[in-house]
Structure 1
Amino acid sequence: MSLVLGKHPVRLLGLVAAALAWPAVAQDVDAMLRDADRYRTGADNLQVDTLVQSYKTDGTLDKERRYTVFAQQDRRTLVLMQSAAEKGQKVLMLGDDFWLLMPSSQRPMRITPMQKLLGDASTGDIATMRWSGDYSATLVGEEPCQPGETRLCYRLALQAVRKGVTYQRVELWLARQRHEPVRAQLYVQSDKLAKTAHFELDASRSQVDAMVLIDQLGQQRQTRIRYLQRKERTVPEEWLNPMFLARSPVLE
């Protein structure tokens, strides 16, 4: 028996090849998500010097704050606030639990990952730099990386699998070849679109240099989270204990 390809054999063969390849791509979605995470982290135990800048609706700079973020394995993160207005304050994330520690108090205060730090940057936006393990991912299809672009990205639908995540679900666009994150839509528990995120890579295109958040619930204000420096660092275990942090206003 022979197969008649008709007037456009090359196009038909291309469609058949794409259809055969698609299941393999869909099955590898978890690996794609881990690839995307590496652009934001790069190591299990990391120190990230971070600058957060909030902008007014006319695009001029409003405020900025500096943070030192110690992202450690097993979903543990310590954030030290470095700007004069917040000096001495700390945020500790242990899995699904978040605490705010004030230098004037010896009682850690429970907070949520949605707690605002500056502009539209929340605690979770600063403390969490991974999607893998926090979300289940489904490959939706291929779509323009940006509206109006001809370049195509993989679109992933992420659904939270843990209660302590910042967003209940995420729509994420990844570049097709190396799976670097391009943009995302961030939804809160009410399933409202809270923010969009755009990811800027460094000159070598090996890691995310900045994440730009745009408010979708208010006035479209922009907040830029810049990762000034990353280096591998494992902090002392006691730094990840909220009671120790409450008794120790100075760590370095």
Structure 2
Amino acid sequence: MMKNLRYSSAYLMLTLGCLFSLSTAQATEVSQIIKTTDQLRTGGGNMQVETEITTYLRDGTLEKERKYRVYSQAQRQSLVLMQSPAEKGQKVLMSGDDFWMLLPGSQRPMRITAMQKLLGDASVGDIATMNWADDYQASLSGEEVCGNQPCLHLRLDANRKSLAYQHIELWVGKKYYEPIKADLYVQSEKLAKQASFVMDKTQAPSAVVEMRLSDQLSSHKETRIRYLSRQSKTVPEAWLNPMFLAKNPVLE
């Protein structure tokens, strides 16, 4: 009897150990998947990204088009320079969870949130942040078919309440882990936007070239964010200080 009990206990511990190992291995694998997806979306490292945002009305008519230069830096820091004549001189700085808008002629940075709109349904957070690997806890929901290819369905839960989206349902390609589509939920658990991603090529993609956002709350317009070019760029540390930016409107 005691021998059977010892055998049962040993078997139970072995089973639990195996389950724990599988769970840990899966968590590690999912973490690597998200890091690969981020690399395809942002390029990784300190980058300068020339970005174009275009909005379309519900009937598909072109509404507006704007250009931005985004400096994405380490430690969750980004600087956005407006390039189009209608917004020339305006800047947005992100440092961690803090965001500032800087307007020409004003020497006082204005606090904003990650949900501050830039154009159409593209918010500051959509082009200056969204580092999924660092900002979200990811888990695998299952495998599905997306269009004509197998994909993985992941759930991402925000690590902090300050993030623009508190929960993301994400689908990535099973082979290359490229992002295919995402449902973006705000704090109220309402579906705010649906995103789809265009890759540079079908086989062995190396970068996202466009993100399309469809508003699910009000306007139901489509906003397209195109990444025109990417290159490595480390900006001077002073550029990431809101007071310096307020006193030095011209950087280039």
Q: Same fold (TM over 0.5)?
A: yes
Residue 85 of structure 1 deviates from its aligned partner by: 0.8
- Equivalent residue, structure 2, for 1:122: 123
Provide the rounded CA distance (Å) in 1 between the counterparts of 2:28 and 2:248.
47
- Separation (CA, whole Å) in 2 of partners of 1:130 and 1:209: 17
- 1:152 is matched with 150
Mind listing any 5+ residue stretches in structure 2 that lack a counterpart? Answer: 1-21
Q: Which amino acid aligns with 1:107?
A: R
The structure with the greater share of residues assigned to helix is 2
Counterpart mapping for 1:67-82 below 5 A: 67-82=68-83
State yes or no: 1:40 paired with 2:41.
yes
C-alpha separation in 2, matches of 1:112 and 1:22: 36
CA distance in 1, matches of 2:148, 2:42: 29
Q: Distance in 1 between matches of 2:24 and 2:235?
A: 42
SS at match of 2:59: coil
Specify the SS of the correspondent of 2:210. Answer: strand
1:184-199 alignment, distance < 5 Å: 184-199=182-197
- What is the SS of the residue equivalent to 1:133? helix
1:216: which partner in 2? Answer: 216
Alpha-carbon shift at residue 152 of structure 1 (Å): 2.2
**Shift of residue 45 of structure 1?**
0.1
1:232 aligns with 2:239: no
Structure 1 contact 174–182 (Cα < 8 Å) conserved = yes
TM-score by length of 2: 0.87
Task: Please tell me whether the aligned partners of residues 210 and 224 of structure 2 are also in contact (alpha carbons under 8 angstroms).
Answer: yes
CA-to-partner distance for each residue in 1:77-129, whole Å, 9 max, x for gaps? Answer: 00000111110000000000000001121000000000111000001001114
Equivalent position of 1:248 in the other structure: 248
Once the 2 structures are TM-superposed, how far is the Cα of residue 178 of structure 1 from its aligned partner?
1.4
Partner of 1:15: none
**Structure 2 counterpart of 1:201, one-letter code:** M
CA separation of 1:22/1:237 partners in 2, compared to 1, >3 Å: closer, same or farther?
A: closer
Alpha-carbon RMSD: 1.7
Q: How many residues align?
A: 230
Residue 70 (structure 1) shift: 0.1
Aligned-partner SS, 1:194: strand
Partner of 1:163: 161
The residue that corresponds to 2:12 in the other structure is none
Aligned residue for 2:174? 176
User: How big is the shift at 1:44?
Assistant: 1.1
Please give the secondary structure, in 2, of the residue aligned with 1:200.
strand
Identity of aligned residues (%): 58
**C-alpha spacing 1:151/1:23, structure 2 compared with 1 (3 Å):** farther
Once the 2 structures are TM-superposed, how far is the Cα of residue 26 of structure 1 from its aligned partner? Answer: 5.1
Q: CA separation in 2, counterparts of 1:22 and 1:135?
A: 18
Name the residue aligned to 1:90.
Answer: 91
Greater Cα offset, 179-188 or 154-163? 154-163
Counterpart amino acid of residue 216 in structure 1: Q
Q: CA deviation at 1:66?
A: 0.4
- Residue correspondence of structure 1 range 26-37 to structure 2 within 5 A: 27-37=28-38
Aligned to 2:137: 136
**Which amino acid in structure 1 is aligned with residue 208 of structure 2?**
V
- TM superposition outliers: structure 1 runs of 4+ over 2 Å: 21-27, 149-152
Residue 59 of structure 2: aligned partner: 58
CA distance in 1 between partners of 2:136 and 2:88 (Å)? 33
Q: Distance in 2 between matches of 1:248 and 1:120?
A: 30
Between the aligned partners of 1:105 and 1:219, the Cα distance in structure 2 is 31
Cα deviation per residue 1:206-247 (whole Å; 9 max; x = unaligned)? 100000000111242100000000000000000000000000
Higher mean C-alpha displacement, 185-194 vs 25-34: 25-34
1:175, distance to aligned residue in structure 2 (A)? 0.6
Preserved CA contact (<8 Å) 2:38 2:44: no
User: In 2, are the aligned partners of 1:40 and 1:130 still within 8 Å (CA)?
Assistant: no
Higher mean displacement: 192-201 or 39-48 = 39-48
CA distance in 2, matches of 1:140, 1:22: 13
CA separation of 1:152 and 1:25: change in aligned 2, threshold 3 A: farther
How far is the alpha carbon of 1:143 from its aligned partner? 1.7
Distance 2:176 2:232 in 1: 23
